[in-house]
Amino acid sequence: MRERLATDFERLGRAMPRDPAAHVREAYGIDLTARYLGFELPHPIGKGSGQLSLNPDQLATDREAGLAFVVLKTVIAEDEGGARSMDAWAIHETRMKVERRAAADGRGGWTVTWKGRGWDRPFEDYLALVRAAGDLTRDRALLAVPSVKYHLPHLNQPFRSAEYGYTTRRIVEAWGGGEVPLEKDFSPTLAGDALADERERILRWLREVPGEIRQAAAGAPLRLAIKLMNARFDDGFQEEMLGAVREADALVCFNRLWDAEARVAYGGWDLSERNLRVLRAARHAGLRLPPLVGTGNVCSGRLVLDYARAGCESVELHTFFQLPLAAYPAAAGSRTQRALHALFFHPEEGLVAGMLELERSGALHRKGGELRFLDLCQPGSGER
């Protein structure tokens, strides 16, 4: 297996298979089947919302690369007249800057910095993208998920139901039939805003926002994921946030950290360490949670496995798809293909290598002759 993996790493760095999960199953007896919002995926690796998922050409590139799912750029909710209470988040993106960021323990990692926030084009353009996403999803070519930032009130204010209703109805209509996957995004930049400086206000959002969205869907079949931010409080409050969410079908844990001095959100090893620490603590405490999706500094297959053993059925990446070409071991292909090559096949840090190592250590066992990724997500699999 080691020799085969080393050979694959070299060979597939020149040309990745269209269906990398099928290759892994055939060559190594590893079933990478994963889930997002209950949708079955060929493997656990998807793309988080951002500048890499705002047009059909990007979706086509990811489909060709064999990516499991994509979350579309986050649109800002509006009412029928076009008014947006969260308009401050519809800021035009400046050029993204991919840069190194050292963690508190000195480890070097990557982060992407930009000043923009959500979708800054007309809502009708976003609905056209949703129509393309619905077609791709129904054709089983690529699960493509709309993302929305809705109104978040102060503690004693009502929700702006007109924004929830109009935006959700239009997205459901544009989707074109069948169950609609939707991710509600609590932006990492929200952590730096005065709107999120009170714990009880945040907890109210988490308790009530899912119900507002479902009411806005007016009975349409909706699968709702809540993407949680890293608040400016301690780990205990992050756990409290997890427990506060009601009526969600999945939780995406957790968005980037907030640098109060630089006024930007950031990633790297500090982010994954905190996310995993909180998820493990929540599991140890026995919190009953909906299915989880990991995100934050997913820069190797081993990090994918760490999130899985903390309960995550899939992962969302963003930064790792934007590295300089020289940072990928593959010599050819799109950035998505090069990222998947490293995440799957790296002989030390890859997903295949990590699962084979877990098998050798006795932490993972074959069933029907196969190792199964989703077995890692079960309680007890995170024990070290």
Distance CA 76, CA 117 (A): 10
- Return the minimum-mean-pLDDT range out of 115-119, 211-215, 282-286: 115-119
- Mean pLDDT for 340-356 is 98
Angle between helix 161-175 and 199-216 (nearest 10): 50
Question: Does residue 166 have a pLDDT over 50?
Answer: yes
Proportion of the chain above pLDDT 70, given as a percent: 97
Distance CA 202, CA 190 (A): 10
- Return the minimum-mean-pLDDT range out of 128-137, 243-252, 254-263, 282-291: 254-263
State pTM to two decimals: 0.95
| Helices and strands in the chain, H and E counts | 11, 16
Band of residue 94 on the pLDDT scale cut at 50, 70, 90? low
Per-residue confidence (pLDDT) for residue 116, from 0 to 100: 57
- Mean pLDDT for 29-49 is 97
Question: Does residue 164 have a pLDDT over 70?
Answer: yes
Band of residue 383 on the pLDDT scale cut at 50, 70, 90? very low
Per-residue confidence (pLDDT) for residue 128, from 0 to 100: 98
Per-residue confidence (pLDDT) for residue 208, from 0 to 100: 96
Distance CA 188, CA 263 (A): 11
Token digits of residue 118: 């959500």
261 or 30: whose pLDDT is higher? 30
CB 305 within 8 A of CB 357: no
Band of residue 384 on the pLDDT scale cut at 50, 70, 90? very low
Distance CA 298, CA 307 (A): 9
Question: Does residue 117 have a pLDDT over 80?
Answer: no
Distance CA 217, CA 213 (A): 6
Per-residue confidence (pLDDT) for residue 240, from 0 to 100: 96
Per-residue confidence (pLDDT) for residue 74, from 0 to 100: 95
Distance CA 351, CA 370 (A): 15
- Mean pLDDT for 172-193 is 90
Question: Does residue 340 have a pLDDT over 90?
Answer: yes
Distance of CA 70 to the CA centre of its chain: 8
Distance CA 76, CA 147 (A): 9
- Mean pLDDT for 161-189 is 95
Q: Whole-number mean pLDDT of the chain?
A: 93
Per-residue confidence (pLDDT) for residue 87, from 0 to 100: 82
- Return the minimum-mean-pLDDT range out of 110-119, 267-276, 283-292: 110-119
Per-residue confidence (pLDDT) for residue 20, from 0 to 100: 95
Band of residue 272 on the pLDDT scale cut at 50, 70, 90? very high
Per-residue pLDDT reduced to its tens digit, 46-87: 999 988 999 999 999 999 999 999 999 999 999 999 999 888
